[in-house]
């Protein structure tokens, strides 16, 4: 076990197991260790690690296993490790695949260096936090224009299967490395083994892996692992920010699975469910992760979190709790994907709370609103066009439809990470170029261009060539 390699003789026996209920173990103790303390027992030369979650009385506690419970029996001795869960940190962590304990999952050697970091770090002090006000360009036109990222901010990525979520996440990683010389930390919370394996191969082939760290808590693992793996990834992101002074992009897929794991644990601990059956500690558990994502004088941690929406209900208590912490909301639309408009970002439902005139400037705000107005008007006229035809519209409406369709196609973009599959060279577009091109389209300077000329291009200068 990484970081808990003492021999059994060196560890302090504090009690024994008196009951096992799923991933929750009840332990009788002579003295109670503090909450979140890491305990362990051994069976058949295997170490089982627990985390203290609840004190029942003066001599009994409940702990959640961070391994499977097969082989655990009543009466097994339990030892105090003397510390909470902690992971090894090292400058050579990039390019690696780790688990919740910081152990390598890619066949490589363990992380060297001998330094460890507690996964339960407090958030930065208020006096040390830098405000979220600086734009973080990604080079992706539709994101930078309509739902821009902010340095040290939090973005929610809402999308189902097949709409390009993983590709967009990989392109974010590429942009952070190429545009900002930063690094990425990916937290796979409850990922399927197949998905994690494919992501690792795709990132390696796209050349993104050397500047990224992958931390996985797989779907078949204990809910305790799925509950804590996001904290492990965040711990590595904080290490890269504070020690390496890097620009860090933290990607969490899927943070809703952390909520589900917490709900499983809460029920087995005997807590009374709250709204819609969620755990009563829901808000605290989400805030424990979100409040640590911040910029300091040493660097910034900017987060992109994939969020599953149960029954497409944004008023779900878990989704609402997560939304309350987000600065930017990106909705991936199956309608856009069905039309081949990639990235499939819905231009009308995606937004950023900070994208006001003060933060992004008058020009950016004005162009973004004009683009949304044209596309919204086009969506309202689609049924009329389908029934009566485009020629039945008034001349002004026909002009809006023509320009809106050109804007939709202009906001598509070939990605660097898909270049070897699509045959299209990736493109990164600066915000100034994007604004100038949108102003040209809105002003009618390219009304004579065919629509296909705008599709999957970088700037309009690329389309003209």
Question: Cα 259–263–265 angle (5° rounding)?
Answer: 115
Name which of 375, 437, 367 is nearest 400 in CA terms. 375
HSE (CB half, 13 Å, CA atoms) of 214? Answer: 27
3-class state of residue 97 by DSSP? strand
Check if 165 is active-site: yes
8 A C-beta contact, residue 26 and residue 60: yes
Closest C-alpha among 51, 343, 346 to residue 170: 343
Q: Is 191 a catalytic residue?
A: yes
CA distances from 28 to 44, 67, 81 (A): 22, 20, 16
Selecting among 51, 171, 177, 191, the annotated active-site residue is: 191
Half-sphere exposure of 426 (CA within 13 A, CB side): 20
Dihedral sign of CA atoms 47, 51, 54, 57 in order? positive
Quote the tokens at residue 9.
């003789």
Select from 366, 407, 418 the least CA-distant residue to 169: 418
Active site residue 26: no
- Helices 255-268, 282-290: crossing angle, 10 deg rounding: 140
Catalytic hit among 192, 357, 363, 445: 192
Q: Among residues 96, 141, 154, 165, which one is catalytic?
A: 165
**Neighbouring C-alpha atoms within 13 Å toward the C-beta of 463:** 25
> Which residues fall within 8 angstroms of residue 111, CB to CB, at 6 or more apart?
88, 89, 90, 92, 93, 96, 98, 102, 104
Number of alpha carbons in the 13 Å side-chain half-sphere of residue 97: 18
Any idea what DSSP says for residue 370?
A: H
Q: What are the phi and psi torsion angles at 14 (to 5°)?
A: -110, -10
Question: What span, in angstroms and rounded, lies between the C-alpha atoms of 334 and 386?
Answer: 20
Q: Which residues are catalytic?
A: 165, 191-192
């Amino acid at each position: 076990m990484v970081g808990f390699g003492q021999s059994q003789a060196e560890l302090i026996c504090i009690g024994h197991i008196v009951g096992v209920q799923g991933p929750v173990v009840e332990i009788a103790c002579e003295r109670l260790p503090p909450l979140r303390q890491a305990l362990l027992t051994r069976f058949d030369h295997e170490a089982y690690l627990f985390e203290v979650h609840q004190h029942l009385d003066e001599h009994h506690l409940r702990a959640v296993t961070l391994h499977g419970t097969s082989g655990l029996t009543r009466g097994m001795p339990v030892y105090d490790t003397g510390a909470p869960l902690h992971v090894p940190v090292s400058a050579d962590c990039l390019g690696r695949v780790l688990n919740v304990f910081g152990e390598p999952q890619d066949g490589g050697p363990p992380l060297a260096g001998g330094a460890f970091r507690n996964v339960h770090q407090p958030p930065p002090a208020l006096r040390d936090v830098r405000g979220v006000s600086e734009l973080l360009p990604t080079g992706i036109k539709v994101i930078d224009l309509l739902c821009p990222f902010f340095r040290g901010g939090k973005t929610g990525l809402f999308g189902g299967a097949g709409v390009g979520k993983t590709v967009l996440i990989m392109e974010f990683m590429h942009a952070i490395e190429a545009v900002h010389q930063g690094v990425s930390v990916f937290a796979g919370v409850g990922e399927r083994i197949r998905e994690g394996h494919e992501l690792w191969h795709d990132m390696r082939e796209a050349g993104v892996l050397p500047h990224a760290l992958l931390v996985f808590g797989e779907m078949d693992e204990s809910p305790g692992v799925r509950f804590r793996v996001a904290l492990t990834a965040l711990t590595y992101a904080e290490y890269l920010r504070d020690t390496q002074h890097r620009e860090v992009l933290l990607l969490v897929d899927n943070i809703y699975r952390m909520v589900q794991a917490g709900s499983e644990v809460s029920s087995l601990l005997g807590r009374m469910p709250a709204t819609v059956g969620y755990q009563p500690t829901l808000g605290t558990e989400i805030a424990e992760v979100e409040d640590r994502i911040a910029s300091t004088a040493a660097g910034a941690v900017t987060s992109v979190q994939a969020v599953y929406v149960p029954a497409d209900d944004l008023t779900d208590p878990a989704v609402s709790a997560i939304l309350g912490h987000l600065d930017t909301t990106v909705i991936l639309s199956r309608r856009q994907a069905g039309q081949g408009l990639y990235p499939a970002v819905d231009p009308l439902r995606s937004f950023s709370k900070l994208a006001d005139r003060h933060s992004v400037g008058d020009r950016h705000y004005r162009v973004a609103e004009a683009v949304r107005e044209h596309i919204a008007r086009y969506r309202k006229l689609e049924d009329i066009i389908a029934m009566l035809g485009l020629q039945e519209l008034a001349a002004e409406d026909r002009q809006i439809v023509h320009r809106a369709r050109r804007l939709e196609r202009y906001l598509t973009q070939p990605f660097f990470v898909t270049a070897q599959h699509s045959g299209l060279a990736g493109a990164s577009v600066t915000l100034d170029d994007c604004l100038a091109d949108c102003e040209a389209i809105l002003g009618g300077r390219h009304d004579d261009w065919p629509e296909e000329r705008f599709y999957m291009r970088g700037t309009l200068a690329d389309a003209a060539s």
